[in-house]
């Protein structure tokens, strides 16, 4: 089905061969990428849809098992898909580097190389390594007129690949510090190919980059930062898609819908200046889940929802509320509480609500964030006895770490070695190491008070845990089995009496799937999540709008899925009429107050 002329998207006009969709989690990148691929295929174009998302659900969207191979989509002529597996790519990348020296170098040296290549920086570069060929090797993609990428390489990845310097000689001389030199060690022979790929990304005649966002202040700020980062490295010809806008007609007769509409319009009116000048498309919120071909074919066209009277009210599901979770947390008197989940699910607000309620009960609390996009001060809008608030500032922590390395290891180097060390310390992986050190300092406080941590989006959180795990293994090797008592950050994260991990999600197919994948990753690291929080539930809010009632009905299966399959304990938080900003509203959010709901 082709788009009707009145619904045509600007970003689809005169589309070049490559198109990338990027944006924070939960904004609808996968749905829009899939709908774009379907539309192009319907126009008779031969299309390859590629996902580089570690939590890819493209196969689920089409109901076909795809994986790391080009797979035709039977129900869509002209369309094939490929899911790049970042973990498999990282293992192949490690094998390619370590294989030639295994058996030639001492086991301790080989183990050290493997340790350097164990982090998420390696995974990120390896994934880029996988799809580089799709950009520059025509023999791989000559059958396709368009290559549609679900998730573009981040500014972080591209900055890694742009780092110049004599990496090999620096490594051989033993002058490197533990940042990105390990992952970059295997790049020398392919540097020209990577440069060609980055050049292709920056060429508007070959590539279109589409930023996807929602009409939310925090999400718009995040995508504005992505816009600025990519523009700074030459990728400045961008399009913007604002997804999931509530139609104005739904606000009539429903206080909840009216409040949501007003919030969205206010966010759009205050859009960051860098975004305001981009070619922009707006996509209305749909009453159905965007899974399956029929749904995806309707994404770019207006949905006929009907009248509110035609949709029967949805009885809010009987489910535990967040007050019960806070009771369980408070019973221990102190400890680390970490809120994790993909972007856009409301971790910052929930972290603030938990911290405020614990402090209101007279318990000492340190509320902190490692998320560069979080705005705790705006959420709190006030202070409270027993509550301290901080933010791990990546720039400040990076400068502190950089200066420490230069003052210690750099002091022993000649001018050339110091120059290369300074170059290495400009890599974005240095920031991750510095943030990890700050993270380690803060969680020690959890032995005497509550530390509530609003973490960065899932990919960054797992990178942080990779660093934590590597640090733990290094300490264990150094201390040996001589009976010395020690505690590493990873040991604290793995102890359920000292750390409670709350996984935050929405009652929608993709967020629940990604939360389940996060839980599996945590379990592989020996960390058992303590509870799930299903946030912003329309079903729990008693909407009157026809569109919201249909969305509420769709949520019920996902809520049951979490309760029956994934969570040992969980809480359901309704979508609120008024934003939970300020200490009093945050307290009300936990105290089972119904005043802010649309019911």
Q: What is the pLDDT of residues 212-230, one digit of tens each?
A: 999 988 789 889 988 988 8
Catalytic residue among 22, 23, 24, 26: 26
Task: Output DSSP code: residue 102.
Answer: B
183 pLDDT above the threshold of 60: no
pLDDT at 391: 84
Q: Is 342 a catalytic residue?
A: no
Among 63-77, 179-193, 309-323, 519-533, the minimum mean pLDDT is found in 179-193
CA-CA distances (angstroms) from residue 204 to 142, 193, 380?
20, 19, 42
The alpha helices in 14-166, defined as continuous H runs, are 29-42, 58-62, 86-98, 107-116, 120-136, 138-141, 155-162
Q: Are strands 335-340 and 450-454 parallel, antiparallel or unpaired?
A: parallel
Contacts of 586 (CB under 8 A, 6+ apart): 349, 352, 353, 356, 357, 379, 380, 580
User: How would residue 392 be classed by pLDDT, with cut points 50, 70 and 90?
Assistant: confident
| Residues 597 and 577 sit within 8 Å (Cβ to Cβ) | yes
Consecutive H or E run containing 336: strand 335-340
Cα 70 to Cα 72: distance, rounded to the nearest angstrom = 7
Q: Are 45 and 78 contacting, i.e. CB atoms less than 8 angstroms apart? A: yes
What pLDDT, on the 0 to 100 scale, is given for residue 113?
A: 67
Out of 22, 23, 31, 56, the active site residue is: 31
The pLDDT of residue 89 = 74
> Looking at 53, 150, 177, 521, which residue is catalytic?
53
Comparison of pLDDT for 64 and 305, the residue scoring more = 64
Q: Which helix (H) or strand (E) holds 184?
A: helix 181-184
Q: How far apart are CA 29 and CA 88, in angstroms?
A: 23
Order of strands across the sheet that contains 280-284: 71-72, 79-83, 47-51, 146-150, 18-22, 207-214, 238-245, 280-284
**pLDDT tens-digit series, residues 109-156:** 777 667 666 655 666 667 777 777 787 777 778 899 999 988 755 555
Query: Is the confidence at residue 175, as pLDDT, over 50?
Result: no
pLDDT band, very low/low/confident/very high, at 379 (cuts 50, 70, 90): confident
Residue 474 — very low, low, confident or very high, per pLDDT cuts 50/70/90?
Answer: low
Q: Which pair of structure tokens corresponds to residue 245? A: 């806008």
Collapsing DSSP to helix, strand or coil, 14 comes out as: coil
Span 243-289, pLDDT tens digits: 999 999 999 889 999 999 999 999 999 999 889 999 999 999 998 87
285 alpha-carbon distance from chain centroid: 21
Q: For residues 73 and 508, what is the distance between their CA atoms, to the nearest angstrom? A: 24
CA gap 313, 542 in Å, rounded:
7
CB half-sphere exposure, 106, CA atoms < 13 A: 3
Please indicate whether residue 53 is annotated as part of the active site.
yes
Separation CA 125–CA 140 (nearest Å): 20
Domains of the chain listed by start with CATH number:
15-302 (3.40.50.300), 322-396+443-590 (3.40.50.300)
Helix (H), strand (E) at residue 243: strand 238-245
Task: Reply yes or no on whether the pLDDT at 186 is more than 60.
Answer: no
The pLDDT of residue 375: 66
At residue 323, the pLDDT reads: 92
Asked if 206 contacts 200 with a C-beta cutoff of 8 angstroms, the reply is yes
Asked if 44 and 78 touch (Cβ cutoff 8 Å), the reply is yes
Tokens coding 528: 């058992």
Strand partners, 19: 148, 208
Percent of the chain at pLDDT exceeding 70: 77
Kindly give, in sequence order, each residue whose CB lies less than 8 Å from that of residue 366, ignoring residues fewer than 6 positions away. Answer: 388, 389, 390, 442, 445, 449, 450, 451, 452
Q: How far apart are CA 485 and CA 427, in angstroms?
A: 35
26 is catalytic: yes
Neighbouring C-beta atoms of residue 346, cutoff 10 Å? 21
pLDDT at 476 (0 to 100): 63
Beta strands in 511-588 (DSSP E): 531-537, 570-574
Place of tokens 């004599």: 166
Q: What is the DSSP string of 63-79?
A: TS---SS-EE-TTSTTE
Q: Is the pLDDT of residue 351 over 50?
A: yes
Catalytic one of 510, 521, 537, 542: 510
Lowest mean pLDDT, pick from 374-383, 518-527, 560-569 = 374-383
Which one from 22, 23, 24, 28 is the annotated catalytic residue? 28
Strands 71-72 and 79-83: antiparallel
Number of residues in the chain: 599
SS3 call for 599: coil
Q: What is the pLDDT of residue 374?
A: 55
Asked if 70 and 523 touch (Cβ cutoff 8 Å), the reply is: no
pLDDT at 396 over 80: yes
- Contact between 345 and 535 under an 8 Å Cβ cutoff? The reply is yes
Over residues 555-581, mean pLDDT: 93
Quick check: 204 pLDDT over 80?
A: yes
Q: Are 131 and 149 in contact (CB under 8 A)?
A: yes
Higher pLDDT, 105 or 231: 231
State the catalytic residue, choosing from 22, 25, 30, 286.
30
Question: Is the pLDDT assigned to residue 382 strictly greater than 80?
Answer: no
> How far apart are the C-alpha atoms of 258 and 577, rounded to whole Å?
8
CA distance 206 to 16: 5
Alpha-carbon distances of 248 from 240, 261, 270, 289, 586, rounded to whole Å: 21, 7, 18, 20, 28
Average pLDDT of the residues in 454-461: 60
Closest CA to 52 of 118, 110, 105, 129: 129
pLDDT band at 537 (very low <50, low <70, confident <90, very high): very high
What does the alpha-carbon distance between residue 438 and residue 370 come to, in Å, rounded to a whole number? Answer: 9
For the chain, what percent of residues have pLDDT higher than 90? 33
**Phi/psi at 85 (nearest 5 deg)?**
-90, 105
**Residue 54 pLDDT:** 58
């Amino acid at each position: 089905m082709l788009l009707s002329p009145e619904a045509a998207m600007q970003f689809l006009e005169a589309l070049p061969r490559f198109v990338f969709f990027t944006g924070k989690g939960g904004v609808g990148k996968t749905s829009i990428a899939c709908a774009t691929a379907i539309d192009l295929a319907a126009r008779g174009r031969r299309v390859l849809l590629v996902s580089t998302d570690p939590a890819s659900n493209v196969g689920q969207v089409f109901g076909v098992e795809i994986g790391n191979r080009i797979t035709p989509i039977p129900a869509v002529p002209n369309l094939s898909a490929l899911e790049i597996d970042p973990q498999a790519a990282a293992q192949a990348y490690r094998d390619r580097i370590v294989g030639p020296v295994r058996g030639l170098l001492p086991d301790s040296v080989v183990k050290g190389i493997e340790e350097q290549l164990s982090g998420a920086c390696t995974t990120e570069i390896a994934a880029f390594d996988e799809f580089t060929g799709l950009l520059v090797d025509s023999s791989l993609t000559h059958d396709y007129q368009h290559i549609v990428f679900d998730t573009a390489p981040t500014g972080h990845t591209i900055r890694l690949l742009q780092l110049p310097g004599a990496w090999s000689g620096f490594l051989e001389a033993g002058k490197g510090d533990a940042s990105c030199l390990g992952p970059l060690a295997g790049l020398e022979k392919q540097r020209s190919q990577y440069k060609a790929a980055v050049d292709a990304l920056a060429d508007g005649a070959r590539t279109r980059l589409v930023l996807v966002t929602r009409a939310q202040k925090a999400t718009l700020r995040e995508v504005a930062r992505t816009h600025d980062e990519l523009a700074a490295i030459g990728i400045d010809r961008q399009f913007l898609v604002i997804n999931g806008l509530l139609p104005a007609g739904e606000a009539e007769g429903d206080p909840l819908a009216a409040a949501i509409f007003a919030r969205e319009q206010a966010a759009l009116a205050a859009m960051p200046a860098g975004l305001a000048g981009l070619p922009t498309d707006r996509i209305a919120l749909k009453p159905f889940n965007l899974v399956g071909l029929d749904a995806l074919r309707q994404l770019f066209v207006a949905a006929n929802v009907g009248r509110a009277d035609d949709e029967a009210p949805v009885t809010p599901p009987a489910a535990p509320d967040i007050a019960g979770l806070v009771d369980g947390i408070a019973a221990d008197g102190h400890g680390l509480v970490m809120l994790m989940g993909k972007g856009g699910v409301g971790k910052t607000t929930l972290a603030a609500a938990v911290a405020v309620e614990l402090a209101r009960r007279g318990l000492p609390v340190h509320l902190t964030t490692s998320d560069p996009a979080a705005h705790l001060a705006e959420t709190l809008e006030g202070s409270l006895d027993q509550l301290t608030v901080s933010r791990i500032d990546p720039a400040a922590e990076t400068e502190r770490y950089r200066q420490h390395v230069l003052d210690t290891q750099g002091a022993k180097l000649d001018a050339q070695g110091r120059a290369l060390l300074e170059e290495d310390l400009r890599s974005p992986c240095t920031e991750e190491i510095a943030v990890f050190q700050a993270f380690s300092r803060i969680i020690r406080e959890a032995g005497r008070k509550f530390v509530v941590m609003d973490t960065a989006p899932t990919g960054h959180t797992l990178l942080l845990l990779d660093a934590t795990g590597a640090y733990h293994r290094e300490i264990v090797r150094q201390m040996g089995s001589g009976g010395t008592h020690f505690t590493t950050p990873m040991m604290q994260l793995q102890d359920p009496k000292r750390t409670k991990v709350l996984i935050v999600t929405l009652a929608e197919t993709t967020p629940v799937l990604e939360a389940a994948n996060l839980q599996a990753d945590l379990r592989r690291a020996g960390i058992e999540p303590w509870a799930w929080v299903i946030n912003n539930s329309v079903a729990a809010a008693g909407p009157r709008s026809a569109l919201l009632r249909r969305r509420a009905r769709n949520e019920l299966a996902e809520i049951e899925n979490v309760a029956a399959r994934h969570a040992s304990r969980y809480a359901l938080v309704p979508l609120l009429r008024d934003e939970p900003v300020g200490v009093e509203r945050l307290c009300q959010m936990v105290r089972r107050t119904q005043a802010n709901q649309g019911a």
